Structure 1
């Protein structure tokens, strides 16, 4: 029988910001946790939707045509091809659900980009 996953326990395992950690996989989709603080970078996922669900803090998803503010319990799906830039209050806790093929910062590569092959399970 598969083990249940306690989200709060998983968030307690890491402190890094903007470094997604994989906690589950279902039907080719990865379930990831991340902590955010400040701005990530503007990027786009040309072929994948990206679901954001906030557990703690406040996440603003800046889009070129406006912004979406997410509080705990709120979620939003950034459609494929939509450029966005996450901006988080300190220690914001976020769940992401996205296809396994989704690159961390799309085609943008910076020192904060975590390559897909380096994202780790916790």
Structure 2
């Protein structure tokens, strides 16, 4: 049986930016939370969509076709194969829903890239 969790409280408790943590599993997907600020990296996920839900703050998702601005309570799905770069001018708390096979920064590796092992660490 699953346990009750508060994605907002868990995200707020994180001490590292851009280091998502898995907080639940849903079929073949993970539910993750993260505390973000600044820019992540331009990347894409060739075979996976990625859902962003803003728990607190504001997030801009830059894409080659144009930017999407998201405020608290809003969500957006980046379609598979679309190059994107999440940016938060101020601290922002987010929830992500991704397939278990989704790599953190997709087709690129940077100093901010986190492995699945790191994302599965206890909060």
Distance in 2, Cα, partners of 1:110 & 1:24: 25
Aligned to 2:110: 110
Match of 1:72 in 2: 72
Query: Separation in 1 of the partners of 2:27 and 2:2?
Result: 16
Give the TM-score taking structure 1 as reference length: 0.94
Structure 2 alignment gaps of length 5 or more: none
Correspondence 1:98 to 2:98: yes
SS of 2:8's partner is helix
Aligned length: 122
Deviation >4 Å, runs of 4+: none
Contact 2:7 2:95 in 1 (8 A): no
Kept in 2, the 8 Å contact 1:46–1:81? The answer is yes
Output one character per residue of 1:46-86: Cα deviation in whole Å (capped at 9) or x when no partner.
00000000011110000001000000011000000000000
Asked whether the equivalents of residues 12 and 93 of structure 2 are also in contact (C-alpha less than 8 Å), the reply is no
Query: TM-score, length-normalised on structure 2?
Result: 0.93
Aligned-residue offset at 1:14:
1.1
* Separation in structure 1 between the aligned mates of residue 51 and residue 102 of structure 2, nearest angstrom: 11
Point out where structure 1 has 5 or more consecutive residues left out of the alignment: none
